[in-house]
Structure 1
Amino acid sequence: MRVCDTLLPAIGAEFAASTGEAARTVFAFAVAYGVFQLCFGPLGDRYGKLRIIALCALACVAGNGLAFLAAGLDWLVAARVLSGACAAGIFPLAMAWIGDNVPYEGRQTALARLVSAGVTGMLAGQWLSGLIAQWSDWRYTFLVLAALFLWAGGLLLKAAVAASWRRPAAARPAREALGEILASPAARSILTVTTIEGALAFGAIAFIPSLLQRHHGISLSMAGGIAACYGIGGFVYTRLAARLLGRLGEPGLARLGGLLLCAGFVSFAYAPHPALTPLACALAGFGFYCLHNTLQTQATQMAPAARGMAMSLFACVLFLGQSAGVMAAAWLADHGRDTWIFAAAGVGLMGLSQVVARRTRARRRQAG
């Protein structure tokens, strides 16, 4: 998901494109990833979540193989569309599986462990892609991804066969499940906030390496390493999630997330020296997962009888929001206003966190 962030300057240089044009690789992945959620969620509810996750992982081999062979920017964008479409069935169905098997009281902690695996991937995508691009060729990043998906997909397929390929009972029609989710005011509120969160947070994240290179003139590998500190902040959150939730509750955790996002992004945008940027990225990453994990835990309860559809819809709006955010941020970057991207994201996310905290408290009062 994050592998192209650090590669944007290298991709632009090879294909004679601006950073904003190269960012189509990020935008295209996000659109495909978001749209195809709505296909895989119902399939997971109907045929089994583990089975669909395994097949999606194996299908990602083709998308990354085509990216490795890309002869032009349009080819690379098309390969990222295929990769995004295939990857769409992995993480949301994993969240749905946790929702099916873990009680709500322990779900935020379980989801934090899943997020820890996702953060590890984000760290590798942002840092190793820059390292590979600097010491070899950026294309080899996609070859490595294809090999990893082949290995992991094979293991998942073996697990799915061992768990049986029988169709789960009482699968609901996708249209009926979707209608139930959208008819719920609480679900609509979560989905709206998640869309805005995706636009603000991911629109900024995609341009961390570009700002570092433009303002501080550092190498691709160094820029990728600093960008990976965002993921390190998220990883630290996963280690502390249970303790923080016990002390602050969901409303307090959301507020803390907004405060740290604002402090991190604004500090990053106006840091006078690159030595300060890793800490700013780590603060923002910690804050993002405080806020986002609260939202996705609440999303697992939007439709317990159709959790695959619910989590797919959640991921869909998150990454459609990302697409809009990346487009807006690309325009600002091409017009020399990249610091505005991070300032707007930080302030906006702090305000959004207050909305999440208030609505969480209101729902609990109504339920109590």
Structure 2
Amino acid sequence: MTTSSDPLDQPASGRGAVLSMSLCVAMLIASEFMPVSLLTPIADSLNASDGQTGQAVSISGFFAVAASLLVSTAAGRLNRKSVLLTMTGLMLLSLVMIAAAPNFIVLMIARALLGISIGGFWSLSTAVIMRLVPADRVSGSLALMFAGQATAAAFAAPVGSYLGEVIGWRGVFWALVPIVALDLLWQAVALPSLPAQESQSLGSMWRVLRRPYVSRALIAVLFTFSGAFAMFTYLRPFLETVSGVGVQMLSVMLLVLGCAGFIGTFLGGRLTNGHLMALLRYLPLAMAAATLALLGFGHVLSLVAILLAVWGAINTALPISWMGWVTQEVGDAPEAAGGLMVGAIQLAILLGATIGGALLDHVGISATFICSAILLGVAGAIVGSGRALRA
């Protein structure tokens, strides 16, 4: 008897649960990185510099790191469905606070709450997927969940940039509120009861972290995602100052980058099982090359569009590949490994946004992009042949 690897070829209850998580992922990604497409107007409205406003991305990353390491531990024996619903509720509260923020301090507090939601949801998501679907459908279901990320990457930035001119940046965040509220209700209905299988502790995370191949992988993750977000967080200033685009062309460029994410999601889901180590090594190297090429040809809009498409496809394939690594190499401790992986990714986002913002404010956009490429190159070197990342 054969079984289908299609993640949609499963009972309706399982499919609905995975799809509700996919929508939540889309909203998390849209909420986390919307400031990238609205960086300039948010900065002007709150009397802050572009570099300071970029820290709204890094503050959410800081709290996401803490939540990814602590939520599964703090949840103890709590039902994982309740924990996921709480994380989605925090995202809803955060969006309301951001939309109504009277000053930069309130914005940062709201972003901190969003970070807790991001870290808590992501740290449990891979382990939950492994419980929702049969083992042979985990990779496909992960890709389906990450399709939410690709959707957000495709439409959140360009739509946010365009709508920001029409209804203002606050209106953009208000528009996300009812979508998240509906998803919260959907999760409440679609997710089955998920009793804790075992009580997690910081000790269990430490035992996983002490595995040499795990610690090496997390170092590679730090360099990979810090390199990616040192560039991505400040893409709008680059396109405005180097490429000289206006708001309409900016939206088009961001749409090109985002739509290419669907290609990355498809390829990541297809290739992770058979070519995992090649993806982990060569994707950051290709991203570094695309970043440097943007610096060299940033004034040629046709080439910029092509390079952004390449960058966008890689950007969505990377997290699928690394979560695939968790299921393949640390499948005996998915919650602990998932928390460590999400913590490393969020810490990398924090570091990338912080370093990139400092370079942008004090040196210039070229320094930001060069730093991004260097970090990505180091990531590829750490992965190497991939043998050191295997159990």
TM-score (norm 1): 0.88
2:122 is aligned, of 91, 95, 110, to 91
2:282 is aligned, of 224, 245, 256, to 256
1:238 is aligned, of 256, 265, 283, to 265
1:148 maps to amino acid = I
Equivalent-residue separation in structure 2 for 1:263 and 1:313 (angstroms): 28
Task: Say which is worse superposed, 296-305 or 132-141, in terms of deviation.
Answer: 296-305
Equivalent-residue separation in structure 2 for 1:108 and 1:190 (angstroms): 19
Say if 2:239 is the partner of 1:212. Answer: yes
Cα gap change, 1:241/1:83 in structure 2, threshold over 3 Å: closer, same or farther?
closer
- Correspondence for 2:162: 131
Is the contact between residue 35 and residue 320 of structure 1 (CA under 8 Å) also seen in structure 2? no
Equivalent-residue separation in structure 1 for 2:316 and 2:39 (angstroms): 25
Task: Say which is worse superposed, 218-227 or 206-215, in terms of deviation.
Answer: 218-227
Equivalent-residue separation in structure 2 for 1:250 and 1:71 (angstroms): 46
2:64 maps to amino acid = Y
- Correspondence for 1:280: 307
Q: How far off its partner does 1:104 sit?
A: 6.7
2:71 maps to amino acid = F
2:118 maps to amino acid = A
Is the contact between residue 212 and residue 274 of structure 1 (CA under 8 Å) also seen in structure 2? no
Is the contact between residue 43 and residue 52 of structure 1 (CA under 8 Å) also seen in structure 2? no
Q: Give the SS at the match of 1:140.
A: helix
1:19 is aligned, of 50, 70, 75, to 50
Which runs of no fewer than 5 residues in structure 2 stay unpaired?
A: 1-31
Equivalent-residue separation in structure 2 for 1:243 and 1:179 (angstroms): 32
Alignment of 1:109-124 (within 5 A): 109-124=140-155
- Correspondence for 1:40: 71
Task: Say which is worse superposed, 37-46 or 136-145, in terms of deviation.
Answer: 37-46
Is the contact between residue 229 and residue 353 of structure 2 (CA under 8 Å) also seen in structure 1? yes
Equivalent-residue separation in structure 2 for 1:300 and 1:41 (angstroms): 17
1:168 is aligned, of 174, 196, 199, to 196
Is the contact between residue 254 and residue 354 of structure 1 (CA under 8 Å) also seen in structure 2? no
Equivalent-residue separation in structure 1 for 2:276 and 2:328 (angstroms): 14
Q: How far off its partner does 1:91 sit?
A: 2.9
Cα gap change, 1:243/1:95 in structure 2, threshold over 3 Å: closer, same or farther?
closer
Task: Say which is worse superposed, 61-70 or 28-37, in terms of deviation.
Answer: 28-37
Cα gap change, 1:101/1:156 in structure 2, threshold over 3 Å: closer, same or farther?
closer
Say if 2:351 is the partner of 1:324. Answer: yes
State the number of aligned residues.
359
Equivalent-residue separation in structure 1 for 2:96 and 2:210 (angstroms): 41
Equivalent-residue separation in structure 2 for 1:337 and 1:105 (angstroms): 48
TM-score (norm 2): 0.83
Q: Give the SS at the match of 2:242.
A: helix
Q: How far off its partner does 1:86 sit?
A: 2.3
Q: How far off its partner does 1:286 sit?
A: 2.1
Cα gap change, 1:197/1:97 in structure 2, threshold over 3 Å: closer, same or farther?
same
Give the share of equivalent positions with the same residue, in percent: 19
RMSD: 2.5
Equivalent-residue separation in structure 1 for 2:203 and 2:133 (angstroms): 25
2:217 is aligned, of 190, 201, 207, to 190
